[in-house]
């Protein structure tokens, strides 16, 4: 086509379309009309209408099409909760959300019914749990991060975070959230960060005022460099993760000179020197001659059930694992760590060195103490522990001063106290609203991750340097499940409630304290009962709740048990330690339990005499035949190991407790796995009578069994 | 010009029909009694004044419709934006039309002023109309600025924060001015309400009034300015 033709064509077009004012006007009007028609057209073909048409087709193929069609309303749907400030239009497209017949997987999304949850969607809306943009009626706007909305849908894997925005208390239905919160507390995240719902405990890390009397400078150097010491032949850390073995101390990235300065500063913290304990010379003389004194100590260590709180590394078939509890630190290499004088003083009275320690104060005979300390000093050692520590020598003044500065700068003072330095709070950023942080507020730094809050949190926790190479946060070592749990717990921190209605929904964390006064109170603190047991909602979860112990156990049994704890559940590894409690202390406990720890649901006046042998015989039939209790409980050597052994139930339990327990076990111990059976009154009477007849001859049985039965976890 | 029904000048009009007729004539007289074809051509004015008036009338119509959906309160203001976006039929169109036409109006006002300036059309006898026009420019900018806060999103919040801080740097009375504008010391619910009232009542009324004066003066000053008056006379 030559240029002349082109010009001719253009001229023709101009003449035909814009030749005179009338044509011009006509064409401009037509163009304007068309452009104005765009808006209503877009309106007509909006996404929600397409979904509603699609839904109509889907329900036509269902057997209950008629009913479904009857309930389907076209147009914009919304759940409006003015109190909560919630306006959700999700149901505009998610039309089958409340249709129970659309629950199966054959129903395409977004029409499937919501799986059953404890909350009613009509009452709560959708975004309160799922996040995203409620008012939106377009998929991208509702679900994803857009320019005008930075809070995307929360992936289902982390949905428990939403439970945590209102339920500040523990929530058994949200295990991932609970685990994450426990980890936040366990790793002392509150040392540096403000985290709503987790209080700063009285003691985060140990008080270091006298750390110089406990460990050497070389050990401090090693510990500060890498607190994890359980390694295989190649030097790789084998015991990792948080369930067991991970020290609560994270790994700080310290240079060699920083390590020298800090170890110098800490090794000179020794204001209160240890007074060496003078063992009875006759006992030392007689024991030190024996070859097996350490073995004796080991036996004693096991008998006293130190392993309930402390773990030891055991290598079996080339695989190292830790055996024991995680309330106290792992002790595999304790002999290479602490000063022997300090160890003896500590075992005799832990609170003298560390007032906030959870370690109970045992009653020691000189022989026991000598044997156990010898065991720990000679067997629980590692000669190579300090092999890679350079020659440090005695600390110089410059080093000590630099160390003190580092102690503050590196955040040590956030968790640890030393004399002259009070703990510093808010060393790290406030995390109270981290879960609602917008993406534009996050600094991803050099991290190559997706631009989402979840990816940011995971990257930051698993390697703090990934998002901020000059950050001060230390390195933690978490496995994938724990990382997800911590992320979930952090996502639940969305700041203070935005509306009055939300405020009303908050289920506050219960923080009951139970520190009774008097004689019992002193012993309670001495033996640290609450480290494992719960009392009126306060205390640990390792051991049974003792809030109603006075209603449950007979006085005689309590006295015997505390002097010589024998397990009721032979399969457990973690058992009550043997405190070598004097009779007087046991009596104080028994008195207190009998008076104060009573359940109103238990009839304490019930007398053993009113249960006859005939009833007991009927009860035996019910136990063995009708209800087959032996599936879970042992009597003697026969039966299951799910519930406690009932061989000594007659001596152990009170008639009132048995009777109330059979009526409703969950009323006495919430969440117990004992099934609630529909016993008749006669059956309860018969079973109670039978259980009361079950008596073992004496405490000797259990005592003999306890030390030998060692399980592994 | 037809003046048969019009009452003699200077006498009070009592007959409503006469009054209407007078009105009609007044409207006709937006243009001068004698209008030359060249004055109406595209070359001299590029129709900038008329286009500005056109965008302003779009603003009035769409603005009135938007007022049906908007509450000047926190956080409802933002929720209303969402409603306009997601629920109101053609709500996005309505809002965007208002917004783009506002941008166009600011641009056209500037262009109109530049055209008048570079052609020297501000010279006597049109000097008063130039002053009125400058006032209209300021009112247009103010209307645009007050409308910016109303969506109550991050952009508008910070835009207003910055803008009001600029106002507070006026010598001597800066802080007072800012306080009067915001109804307080920070951009909050009071500021939103004040900006709303300014945007939908005070400024539009002022613009309408000044536009009326502008057109009246246009008529009185001999219509659109055309260069080379002698040449025009010859035709």
Chain B 107-146, residues with CB within 8 Å of chain A CB atoms: none
Q: Which pLDDT tens digit goes with each residue over B174-222? A: 999 999 999 999 899 999 999 999 999 999 999 999 999 999 888 888 7
Question: Which CATH number belongs to the domain containing residue B53 in this structure?
Answer: 1.20.810.10
**B69: in domain:** yes
Q: Would you state the pLDDT for residue B1?
A: 45
C-beta atoms of A89 and B79 within 8 A: no
**B151: in domain:** yes
Chain B contact set for A42 (CB, 8 A): 92-93
**B59: in domain:** yes
The values of phi and psi at residue A320, to 5°, are -90, 130
- Whether A439 has its CB under 8 Å from any CB of chain B: the answer is no
Identify the band that residue A537 occupies on the pLDDT scale cut at 50, 70 and 90: confident
B153: closest CA of chain A, how far (Å) = 8
Q: Which pLDDT tens digit goes with each residue over A407-447? A: 988 888 888 888 777 777 778 889 989 998 988 888 888 88
Residue of B nearest to A78 (CA): B87
A127: closest CA of chain B, how far (Å) = 15
Least confident of A77-81, A325-329, A610-614: A325-329
Q: Which of A671, A628, A627, A629 is nearest to A649 (CA)?
A: A629
C-beta atoms of A39 and B92 within 8 A: yes
Q: Which pLDDT tens digit goes with each residue over A474-518? A: 988 888 888 999 999 999 998 888 778 888 888 888 777 888 888
Q: Would you state the pLDDT for residue A663?
A: 87
Tell me if residue A553 falls in helix, strand or coil: strand
Kindly state the average pLDDT of the residues A133-158.
Answer: 89
- Whether B79 has its CB under 8 Å from any CB of chain A: the answer is yes
Q: Would you state the pLDDT for residue A1?
A: 62
A280-286 contacts, C-beta under 8 A, 24 or more apart: A280/A366, A283/A366, A283/A367, A283/A370, A284/A370
Q: Would you state the pLDDT for residue A536?
A: 85
Kindly state the average pLDDT of the residues A16-24.
Answer: 84
Q: Would you state the pLDDT for residue B75?
A: 85
Whether A454 shows a pLDDT value over 60: the answer reads yes
Q: What are the distances in angstroms from CA B57 to CA A25, B49, B54?
A: 20, 12, 5
- Whether B87 has its CB under 8 Å from any CB of chain A: the answer is yes
Q: What number of other Cβ atoms are within 10 A of residue A164's Cβ?
A: 25
Task: Please tell me the distance from the alpha carbon of residue A603 to that of residue A600, in angstroms, as a whole number.
Answer: 8
Q: Would you state the pLDDT for residue A704?
A: 37
Question: What dihedral angle (degrees, nearest 10) is formed by the CA atoms of A9, A15, A17, A20?
Answer: 170
User: Which burial class, exposed, middle or buried, applies to A397 when counting CB atoms under 10 A from its CB (0-12, 13-18, 19+)?
Assistant: exposed
**B139: in domain:** yes
Chain B contact set for A85 (CB, 8 A): 75
Which of the two residues, A308 and A230, has the higher pLDDT score?
A308
Query: What is the overall mean pLDDT for chain B?
Result: 87
Q: What number of other Cβ atoms are within 10 A of residue A579's Cβ?
A: 22
For residue A135, the 8-state DSSP code is: T
Kindly state the average pLDDT of the residues A258-268.
Answer: 92
Q: Which pLDDT tens digit goes with each residue over A361-373? A: 888 888 889 999 9
Q: What number of other Cβ atoms are within 10 A of residue A571's Cβ?
A: 11
Chain A contact set for B87 (CB, 8 A): 76, 89, 135, 137
Q: Would you state the pLDDT for residue A304?
A: 85
For residue A316, the 8-state DSSP code is: E
Kindly state the average pLDDT of the residues A451-464.
Answer: 92
C-beta atoms of B86 and A87 within 8 A: no
A444: closest CA of chain B, how far (Å) = 21
Asked if B220 contacts B30 with a C-beta cutoff of 8 angstroms, the reply is no
Chain B 146-185, residues with CB within 8 Å of chain A CB atoms: 153
Chain A contact set for B79 (CB, 8 A): 87, 135
Whether the ipTM is more than 0.85: the answer is no
C-beta atoms of B93 and A42 within 8 A: yes
C-beta atoms of B90 and A39 within 8 A: yes
Asked if B184 contacts B191 with a C-beta cutoff of 8 angstroms, the reply is yes
- Whether A446 has its CB under 8 Å from any CB of chain B: the answer is no
A187: closest CA of chain B, how far (Å) = 37
- Whether B11 has its CB under 8 Å from any CB of chain A: the answer is no
- Whether B90 has its CB under 8 Å from any CB of chain A: the answer is yes
Least confident of A43-57, B26-40, B87-101: B26-40
B73: closest CA of chain A, how far (Å) = 14
Chain A 134-173, residues with CB within 8 Å of chain B CB atoms: 135-138, 141, 148
B96: closest CA of chain A, how far (Å) = 11
Two tokens at B194? 């004040």
Q: Would you state the pLDDT for residue A242?
A: 44
Which of the two residues, A201 and A223, has the higher pLDDT score?
A223
Whether A574 shows a pLDDT value over 80: the answer reads no
Whether A572 shows a pLDDT value over 80: the answer reads no
A89: closest CA of chain B, how far (Å) = 9
- Whether B229 has its CB under 8 Å from any CB of chain A: the answer is no
Chain A contact set for B58 (CB, 8 A): none
Identify the band that residue B94 occupies on the pLDDT scale cut at 50, 70 and 90: very high
Q: Would you state the pLDDT for residue B11?
A: 67
From the candidates A21, A36, A43, A501, which should be mutated to test the interface with B, based on the most B CB atoms within 10 A?
A43
Kindly state the average pLDDT of the residues A142-154.
Answer: 87
**B29: in domain:** no
**B108: in domain:** yes
Q: What number of other Cβ atoms are within 10 A of residue A639's Cβ?
A: 18
User: Which burial class, exposed, middle or buried, applies to A192 when counting CB atoms under 10 A from its CB (0-12, 13-18, 19+)?
Assistant: buried
Asked if A435 contacts A151 with a C-beta cutoff of 8 angstroms, the reply is no
Question: Could you tell me the residue range of the domain that residue B175 belongs to?
Answer: 43-224
A41: closest CA of chain B, how far (Å) = 9
Whether A705 shows a pLDDT value over 60: the answer reads no
Least confident of A27-31, A296-300, A701-705: A701-705
C-beta atoms of B87 and A138 within 8 A: no
Task: Please tell me the distance from the alpha carbon of residue A300 to that of residue B138, in angstroms, as a whole number.
Answer: 92
Number of domains in chain B: 1
Query: What is the overall mean pLDDT for chain A?
Result: 85
Report percent pLDDT > 90 for chain A: 17
Cβ contacts of B106 within 8 Å, gap of 6 or more:
B140, B141, B144
**B13: in domain:** no
Q: Would you state the pLDDT for residue A650?
A: 87
Closest partner CB to B86 (pick from A38, A40, A137): A137
For A87, what's the count of Cα atoms within 13 Å in the CB-facing half-sphere? 15
Residue of A nearest to B80 (CA): A135
Q: Which of A461, A212, A510 is nearest to A353 (CA)?
A: A212
Chain B contact set for A137 (CB, 8 A): 86-87
**B32: in domain:** no
Report percent pLDDT > 70 for chain A: 95
Task: Please tell me the distance from the alpha carbon of residue B107 to that of residue B145, in angstroms, as a whole number.
Answer: 14
- Give, for B212, the enclosing helix (H) or strand (E): helix B203-220
A657: closest CA of chain B, how far (Å) = 57
Whether A698 shows a pLDDT value over 80: the answer reads no
Whether A124 shows a pLDDT value over 80: the answer reads yes
Identify the band that residue B234 occupies on the pLDDT scale cut at 50, 70 and 90: very low
From the candidates B62, B86, B91, B92, which should be mutated to test the interface with A, based on the most A CB atoms within 10 A?
B86
- Whether A76 has its CB under 8 Å from any CB of chain B: the answer is yes
The domains of chain A, with CATH numbers, are: 3-44 (no CATH), 47-153 (no CATH), 165-200+427-505 (2.60.40.420), 211-378 (1.10.760.10), 529-708 (1.10.760.10)
Closest partner CB to A135 (pick from B79, B93, B153): B79
C-beta atoms of B87 and A43 within 8 A: no
């Amino acid at each position: 086509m030559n240029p002349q033709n082109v010009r001719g064509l253009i001229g023709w077009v101009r003449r035909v379309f814009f030749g005179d004012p009338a044509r011009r006007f006509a064409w401009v009007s037509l163009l304007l009309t068309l452009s104005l028609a765009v808006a209503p057209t877009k309106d007509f073909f909006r996404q929600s209408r397409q979904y509603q048409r699609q839904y109509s087709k889907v329900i036509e193929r269902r057997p209950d099409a008629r009913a479904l069609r009857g309930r389907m309303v076209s147009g914009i749907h919304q759940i409006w909760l003015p109190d909560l400030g919630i306006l959700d239009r999700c149901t505009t497209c998610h039309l089958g959300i409340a249709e129970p017949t659309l629950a199966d997987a054959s129903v395409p999304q977004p029409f499937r019914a919501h799986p059953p949850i404890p909350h009613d969607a009509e009452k709560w809306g959708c975004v309160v749990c799922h996040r995203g943009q409620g008012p939106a009626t377009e998929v991208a706007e509702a679900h994803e991060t857009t320019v005008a909305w930075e809070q995307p849908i929360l992936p289902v894997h982390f949905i428990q975070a939403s439970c945590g925005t209102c339920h500040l208390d523990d929530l058994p239905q949200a295990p991932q959230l609970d685990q994450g919160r426990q980890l936040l507390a366990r790793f002392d995240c509150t040392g540096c960060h403000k985290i709503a719902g987790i209080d700063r405990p009285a003691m985060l890390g140990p008080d270091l005022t006298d750390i110089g009397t406990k460990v050497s400078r070389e050990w401090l150097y090693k510990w500060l460099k890498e607190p994890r010491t359980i390694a295989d032949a190649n030097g790789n850390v084998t015991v990792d993760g948080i369930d067991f073995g991970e020290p609560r101390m994270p790994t700080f990235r310290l240079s060699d000179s920083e390590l020298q300065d800090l170890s110098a500063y800490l090794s000179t913290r020794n204001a209160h020197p240890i007074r060496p304990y003078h063992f009875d010379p006759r006992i030392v003389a007689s024991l030190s001659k024996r070859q097996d004194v350490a073995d004796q100590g080991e036996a004693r260590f096991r008998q006293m059930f130190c392993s309930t709180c402390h773990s030891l590394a055991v290598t079996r078939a080339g695989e190292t694992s830790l055996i024991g509890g995680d309330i106290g630190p792992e002790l595999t290499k304790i002999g290479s760590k602490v000063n022997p004088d300090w160890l003896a003083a500590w075992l005799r009275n832990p609170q003298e060195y560390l007032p906030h320690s959870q370690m109970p104060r045992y009653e020691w005979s000189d022989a026991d103490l000598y044997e156990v300390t010898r065991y720990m000093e000679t067997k629980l050692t590692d000669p190579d522990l300090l092999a890679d520590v350079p020659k440090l020598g005695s600390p110089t003044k410059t080093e000590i001063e630099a160390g003190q500065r580092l102690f503050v700068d590196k955040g040590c003072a956030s968790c640890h106290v030393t004399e002259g330095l009070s703990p510093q709070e808010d060393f790290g950023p406030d995390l109270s609203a981290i879960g609602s942080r917008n993406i534009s507020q996050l600094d991803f730094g050099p991290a190559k991750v997706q631009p989402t809050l979840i990816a940011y949190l995971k990257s930051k926790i698993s390697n703090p340097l990934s998002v901020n190479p000059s950050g001060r946060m230390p390195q933690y070592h978490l496995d994938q499940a724990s990382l997800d749990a911590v992320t979930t717990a952090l996502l639940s921190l969305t700041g203070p409630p935005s509306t009055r209605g939300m405020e009303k929904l908050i289920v506050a964390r219960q923080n009951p304290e139970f520190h009774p006064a008097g004689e019992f109170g002193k012993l309670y603190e001495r033996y640290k009962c609450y480290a494992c047991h719960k009392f009126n909602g306060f205390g640990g979860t390792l051991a049974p709740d003792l809030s109603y112990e006075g209603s449950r156990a007979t006085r005689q049994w309590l006295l015997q048990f505390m002097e010589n704890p024998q397990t009721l559940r032979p399969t457990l590894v973690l058992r009550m330690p043997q405190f070598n409690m004097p009779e007087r202390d046991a009596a104080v406990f028994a008195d207190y339990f009998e008076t104060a720890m009573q359940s109103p649901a238990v009839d304490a006046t019930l007398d053993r005499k009113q249960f006859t042998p005939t009833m007991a015989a009927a009860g035996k039939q019910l136990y063995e035949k009708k209800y087959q209790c032996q599936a879970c409980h042992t009597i003697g050597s026969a039966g299951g190991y799910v519930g406690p052994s009932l061989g000594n139930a007659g001596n152990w339990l009170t008639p009132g407790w048995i009777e109330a327990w059979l009526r409703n076990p969950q009323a006495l111990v919430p969440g117990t796995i004992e099934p609630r059976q529909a016993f008749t009154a006669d059956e309860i009477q018969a079973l109670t009578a039978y259980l009361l007849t079950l008596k073992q001859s004496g405490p000797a049985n259990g005592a003999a069994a306890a030390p030998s039965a060692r399980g592994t976890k | 010009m037809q003046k048969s029904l019009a009452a003699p000048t200077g006498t009070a009009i009592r007959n409503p029909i006469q009054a209407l007729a007078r009105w009609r004539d007044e409207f006709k007289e937006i243009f001068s009694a004698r209008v030359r074809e060249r004055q109406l051509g595209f070359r001299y004015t590029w129709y900038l004044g008329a286009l500005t008036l056109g965008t302003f009338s779009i603003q009035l119509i769409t603005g009135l419709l938007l007022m049906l959906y908007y509450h000047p309160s926190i956080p409802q203001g933002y929720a209303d934006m969402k409603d306009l976006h997601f629920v109101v039929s053609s709500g996005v169109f309505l809002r965007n039309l208002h917004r783009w036409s506002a941008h166009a109006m600011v641009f056209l006002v500037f262009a109109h002023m530049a055209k008048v300036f570079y052609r020297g059309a501000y010279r006597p006898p049109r000097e008063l109309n130039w002053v009125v026009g400058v006032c209209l420019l300021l009112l247009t900018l103010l209307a645009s600025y007050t409308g910016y806060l109303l969506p109550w999103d991050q952009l508008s919040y910070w835009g207003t924060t910055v803008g009001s801080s600029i106002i507070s740097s006026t010598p001597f009375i800066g802080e007072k001015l800012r306080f009067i504008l915001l109804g307080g010391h920070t951009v909050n619910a009071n500021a939103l309400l004040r900006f709303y009232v300014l945007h939908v009542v005070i400024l539009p009324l002022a613009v309408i009034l000044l536009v009326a004066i502008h057109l009246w003066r246009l008529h009185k000053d001999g219509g659109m300015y055309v260069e080379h008056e002698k040449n025009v006379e010859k035709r």
